[in-house]
Structure 1
Amino acid sequence: MAHRKIHMAKMLLLAGSIMTTAPAFAQNDDVNARLDRLEGLVNMLVERLDRQEQAVSQEDAALARQARQALQETRQLATRTEAVEQQVAEQKAAGPDNRGFKVGNTRVTYGGYVKVDAISERTSGGQVASNSIARDFLIPGLIPVGGTASGFDTDFSARQTRFFLKTETDVGDGHKIGSHIELDFMVTAGGNERISNSFTPRVRQAYITFDNWLFGQTWSTFQDVGALPEALDFIGPTPGTVFDRQPMVRYTNGGLQIALEQPETTITSATGGRVIAGDDNIPDIVVRYNHKGDFGHLTAAAIGRNLRVNQDDFGLINDSAIGFGLSLSGKLKVGSKDDFKFMATAGQGLGRYIGLNIVNDAAVRADGSLDPIATYSGFVAYRHFWADNVRSTLSGSYFKADNPVVLTTGSVTDESWNVFGNIVYSPVAPLDLGIEYMFAKRQLENGASGNLQKVQVSAKYKF
């Protein structure tokens, strides 16, 4: 009897040790096999005790029952641990969009940031009105030229704050369907600096994804968002970058993307003014290829456009012209943390895609036909990490237009450029505190010019 009790005590100790180490075992593929072998040994012992029922004391029977119960609890604990670890692995694989909740077969995730800016700005060629969007971020085409220099004007704003909501629905049959809606408060009316600063929300992005297809409004396929450098300004290297969001239909297969995007022709009239004809009938066509690797990424994009104007705008003959362009961009890793970003774009009839429409797509000849305007632009940027939580970006960009001055007059922009540098400190990962200095210049075809100096301090919390 004493001998059997010793064996039963050993079995209980073994079961108890498994219970305490189940989370570690759950990481091994053979945990269930080990439990099966141990359970078999206990069952054999119980069967022997059952055959010797008359000789077994009540204490021995109780020990046997406890051993079996301990094994059952151990198996349940291991199963729960495996489920938790699987859930954690799935969340890690999902990346930053693992926040959110499920409603039926739809997973809803959210994100965005809250950003507060203090901007002090001075312009050499005239005063920028207090309600102008040119005081919220750099718009090269609105840098004043030919006027009296202003002092440093300071504004506080939280308008860049944004929020997005994403969904992904399991529809079965291997299909993936999702949506993305994103809002912010830039370039909208409704607020004032006197009392409320209550600016109206606007739609930044709103699209549906289905397998390899995208339908809706997002960044133009001609633009490489991943090449934009870190800037406290809303965009940063504005004169030298492609920048456009619009409705489209896009197909993606690996690194290849093909898109049909919203057409819109902007025309420079004989007086130098801008006319938005609204006569377009063929989508802008974009083909793009992205190559990614350990080095970073490289992107090549080509665009073809049909620029069109109708007689109802100018009272002349109908005409259309071809616009086209090529953009090369990328991000190259330097060392363990630093990176170098760049973009170079050239073509004709690209006006509204470059630098927030610095110049227009085409000018109108005397006979009513269109003369596409050639443009050249680009930027470079280097980001250096001084420490894990302190970094700086230095960037410069340039834009040049080949305007047909006979048609556009000398009052249109000939070139624009800017440089900026910043330092950003992140006391904790989601929070960025930074300061940035920017200098930008705009020059017209007639030689007149103006510059802008800006100091910006920002706090941004990403969630």
Structure 2
Amino acid sequence: MSISRIGCFIIGGAVAISAGNATAITFKVQDTEVGISGYARMNMTYDIDQDLGDANAVGFDLDTEGDGAGPDWDMSAAQSRIGFSTATPLQRGTLKTFIEGDFLASGNFRLRHAYGSWNGILAGQTWANSSLFLGRTPTLDFPSLVGYPGHVNEARQAQVRYTRGGLSLAVEDPTSDVHGAGSGGRLLLDQNNTDTMPDLTARYENTSSRFQYGGSLVLRRLTVDDGTNSDSTFAYGLAGAWRVTITDRTSIQGGVNYGDGLGAYLYRSGAPGAYLDGLGDVNSIAGYGGAVGLSHRLTPEVAFNASHGFAKVDYDDARDDLGAATVADMDEYRSTTFINVLWTPVPRIMFGAELGVVSIEKVDGDDATANRLMLAAQYSF
């Protein structure tokens, strides 16, 4: 079974390139083709201004007073990954399965993907159906650009999905994320969040000559119920992505994302889907984001990538309803910029160097910017 067929992307870890048969071990057991894929990965980071977190992903806990601890050096092999796939021909179609994980959970094994598919019907845990990878630019930073159409979920999304041609429809595990004024007067997750319906998603992708494009839709319900009083609101998100292949060596790609009540679907924005006002009403929080990038292959072995992503969240209503102090410390704006060079001297081996720039602006106007240098070595099998 081709590992590229099941979407084993090294997005944000390495290079949004598909690990195809050249980087997989395959063998047959009776009629079933079995594939084993993965890599050993070392990330090394040097945070120039402030400590941006571990070596796998930049963080946004920046000190706007400029007193954040830095510089900081970190190394980690926790992104290392292993996956297993099967493909078994049946009388009607082919049964495919895929199980994959890494060690980002404090060094313990973390299940990323676990699903089966047959005749377009997928059930299990994998990328949120609304995620649009075709517009992503390769980064060494694991989660990659802020604001891009995707979903922040450490365990991916449990779902049932049906795909026919370029269209995919899915029913996904919901996560109601309504916040309220918590202790200390800050906006914190309300403990009475209740999931009353699944997230509904749709995605369409197509290719026309040198142009690839796609779009996705998310519908969700955000509910709070304390056993006596309850309220809910419906939320939605719309996203689009594209990739233009200018030459055989150069492409420009990007995506846009907008919604009301997006929450984690506004990728890495840090925004809740809604807030609970003083009357007990649930109010959705609007936001938008986007990303754009350039990829150019300098030689067959060396690739250059530059990309920028951002997310903007509207806290005006929450500030009016809950008071300025409640939302003052929330990130109203986040952005990430990455410039990297990736060298693949031989198949299965990649070395990379990357400059990352992280910026935030809080509701009260305070802002901060920090820089990171990253080196990575990846050995795939």
What SS does structure 2 have at the residue aligned with 1:201?
Answer: strand
Q: Does 2:160 match 1:249?
A: yes
Q: Which protein has the bigger helix share?
A: 1
Q: How many angstroms does 1:99 deviate by?
A: 3.7
TM-score (normalised: structure 2): 0.87
Instruction: State the Cα deviation string for residues 423-456 of structure 1 (Å, max 9, x = none).
Output: 1111112211111001111111011222221000
1:165 maps to 84
- Name whichever of 266-275 and 108-117 sits farther off: 266-275
Q: Output the CA distance in 1 between the equivalents of 2:236 and 2:258.
A: 9
What SS does structure 2 have at the residue aligned with 1:223?
Answer: coil
Structure 2: which amino acid aligns with 1:149? G
Q: Does 2:358 match 1:447?
A: no
Q: How many angstroms does 1:368 deviate by?
A: 0.9
Instruction: State the Cα deviation string for residues 41-100 of structure 1 (Å, max 9, x = none).
Output: xxxxxxxxxxxxxxxxxxxxxxxxxxxxxxxxxxxxxxxxxxxxxxxxx99x99628741
Contact 1:266–1:277, Cα closer than 8 Å, also in 2: no
Q: How does 1:356-375 map to 2 (within 5 A)?
A: 356=268, 358-375=270-287
1:112 maps to 38
2:204 maps to 289
Q: Output the CA distance in 1 between the equivalents of 2:116 and 2:293.
A: 33
Q: How many angstroms does 1:224 deviate by?
A: 1.0
Stretches of structure 1 lacking an aligned partner (at least 5 in a row): 1-89, 190-198
Structure 2: which amino acid aligns with 1:137? A
1:305–1:218 CA distance, 2 compared to 1 (3 A): same
Q: Which has the larger radius of gyration?
A: 1
Contact 2:223–2:231, Cα closer than 8 Å, also in 1: yes
Q: Does 2:110 match 1:202?
A: yes
Contact 1:238–1:397, Cα closer than 8 Å, also in 2: yes
Q: How many angstroms does 1:294 deviate by?
A: 2.6
Q: Does 2:328 match 1:410?
A: yes
Instruction: State the Cα deviation string for residues 243-275 of structure 1 (Å, max 9, x = none).
Output: 342100000010111100111111221131223
What SS does structure 2 have at the residue aligned with 1:236?
Answer: coil
Q: How many angstroms does 1:369 deviate by?
A: 1.0
1:263 pairs with one of 174, 177, 200: 174
1:433–1:238 CA distance, 2 compared to 1 (3 A): same
2:16 maps to none
Q: Output the CA distance in 2 between the equivalents of 1:265 and 1:326.
A: 18
Q: How many angstroms does 1:276 deviate by?
A: 5.7
1:232–1:101 CA distance, 2 compared to 1 (3 A): same
Contact 1:138–1:238, Cα closer than 8 Å, also in 2: no
Stretches of structure 2 lacking an aligned partner (at least 5 in a row): 6-19
1:222 maps to 130
Q: How many angstroms does 1:108 deviate by?
A: 0.8
What SS does structure 1 have at the residue aligned with 2:264?
Answer: helix
1:355–1:145 CA distance, 2 compared to 1 (3 A): farther
1:387 maps to 299
1:96 maps to 21
2:93 maps to 175
Q: Which protein has the bigger strand share?
A: 2
Instruction: State the Cα deviation string for residues 116-161 of structure 1 (Å, max 9, x = none).
Output: 111011445xx56xxx55x531233x33444613221111111111
1:275–1:225 CA distance, 2 compared to 1 (3 A): farther
TM-score (normalised: structure 1): 0.72
Superposed CA RMSD in Å reads: 2.2
What SS does structure 2 have at the residue aligned with 1:405?
Answer: helix
Q: Output the CA distance in 2 between the equivalents of 1:361 and 1:283.
A: 15
Give aligned-pair identity as a percent.
Answer: 25
Q: Output the CA distance in 2 between the equivalents of 1:113 and 1:200.
A: 16
Contact 1:139–1:355, Cα closer than 8 Å, also in 2: no
1:344 pairs with one of 256, 260, 263: 256
Contact 2:210–2:245, Cα closer than 8 Å, also in 1: yes
Q: Output the CA distance in 1 between the equivalents of 2:262 and 2:63.
A: 23
Higher relative contact order structure (alpha carbons within 8 Å, sequence separation ≥ 6): 2
Q: Output the CA distance in 2 between the equivalents of 1:120 and 1:179.
A: 39
Structure 1: which amino acid aligns with 2:161? R
Q: Output the CA distance in 2 between the equivalents of 1:453 and 1:182.
A: 32
2:377 maps to 459
